[in-house]
Structure 1
Amino acid sequence: MYAQEDFNKKVSSLLKNTVPLVTSAELDTLLQKNPNLILLDTRSSKEYEVSKIAAAKFIDYDDFKPEMVRGIPKEEQIVVYCSVGYRSEKIGEKLQELGYNNVLNLYGGIFDWKNTDHTVINEKNQPTDSVHTYNKNWSKYLHKGVKVYD
């Protein structure tokens, strides 16, 4: 499928692979095994308000401060995500610098999560098809769901 190849090429061009990757299928398995898995959404508050992966905690990429993760034990497994993986990789690097040694970055972010038929929820914790796509340019990488952007 050309669209998926295009998406993979774009994601690969953005990532430095400094934070180990986890696929959507692998994250799904991790969440089934550990519903208390620490999942950090590193997008903007506007994006987070539209939809998120269930149980994700908001960590603002633009205003990240170490205090935001102070209560998380350093040995806990943490999965970070954003739209496609770039911003979450940067936050993952910051977490590694803070001494977190079990950080994973969701490959393809919430776009891949939704494109592979996984559920996202809105601010009322109800399933939704809406995903904030950052802007119109990036919306072409979301193939399933309702594209929301400013």
Structure 2
Amino acid sequence: MGSNEIESSGSEVVTIDVNVAKGLIQNGYVYLDVRTVEEFEKGHVDAEKIINIPYMFNTPEGRVKNPEFLKEVLSASNKEEHLIVGCQSGVRSLYATADLLAEGFKDVSNMGGGYLDWVKHDFPVKIPITNEKEL
């Protein structure tokens, strides 16, 4: 077992690189962004099917796991859905993918390198327009 694999109740997390992820996203896979809403709103992967469900929240005490994560994913998709899970650098998405596989999701892949790697490859991103009129 390699250093970047996590065993999760018999299902091994598959980590794919951003090039593979981009192809799958363009072919109808759902991109599940598990970063915080604040991170998501600063910019995210440009995907036709994208869901933002934070795996962790920032609190004054530091990051805490979102206790409703699995429930929220289940309400936004189903266990048969083809999901690519991504975060900022690939750590949270690894744990989120393991949790989803343990929950019985059939086709979930972790996007290695996360949003930072996606941006580094100059792949399409969406950055919401803010109301600030700064030059």
CA distance in 2: counterparts of 1:98 and 1:123, whole angstroms: 32
TM-score normalised by L of structure 1? 0.66
What is the Cα-based RMSD across aligned positions, in Å? Answer: 1.9
Fraction of identical pairs, as percent: 28
More helix by share: 1
Number of equivalences? 110
Q: What one-letter code is carried by the residue in structure 2 that aligns with 1:101? A: K
Aligned CA distance change for structure 1 residues 113 and 107 (closer, same or farther; 3 Å): same
> Distance in 1 between the 2:25 and 2:93 partners?
18
What is the rounded CA distance, in whole Å, between the counterparts of 2:117 and 2:128 in structure 1? Answer: 20
Residue 104 of structure 2: aligned partner: 99
Distance 1:49 1:103 in 2: 24
Structure 1 position 44 matched with structure 2 position 36: yes
TM-superposed CA distance for 1:24, in Å, is 1.2
Deviation at 1:32, TM superposition (A): 2.5
Q: Of the candidates 72, 84, 87, which is equivalent to residue 89 of structure 2?
A: 84
- Distance (Å, rounded) in 1 between the aligned partners of 2:112 and 2:85: 10
Higher RCO (CA 8 Å, separation ≥ 6 residues)? 2
**Residues in 2 aligned to 1:48 and 1:90: alpha-carbon distance in whole angstroms:** 18
Establish whether residue 30 from structure 1 lines up as the match of residue 63 from structure 2: no
Among 54, 67, 74, the alignment partner of 2:71 is: 67
Classify the secondary structure of the residue corresponding to 2:45.
coil
CA distance in 2, matches of 1:64, 1:105: 20
TM-score, structure 2 normalization: 0.73
Deviating beyond 3 angstroms after TM superposition, the runs of 4 or more aligned structure 1 residues are 15-18
* 2:51 pairs with 1:57: yes
Query: How far has the Cα of 1:45 moved from its partner?
Result: 1.5
Residue type of the alignment partner of 1:75 = E
Q: Gapped runs of 5+ residues in structure 1? A: 1-11, 125-150
* SS of equivalent residue, structure 1 residue 70: helix
Superposed CA deviations along residues 5-62 of structure 1, whole A, max 9, x for unmatched, are xxxxxxx97x43542011111112112222xx21111111111110011232111112
d(CA) in 1 for partners of 2:100 and 2:16?
16
Once the 2 structures are TM-superposed, how far is the Cα of residue 101 of structure 1 from its aligned partner?
A: 2.0
Among candidates 4, 8, 13, match of residue 19 of structure 1: 13
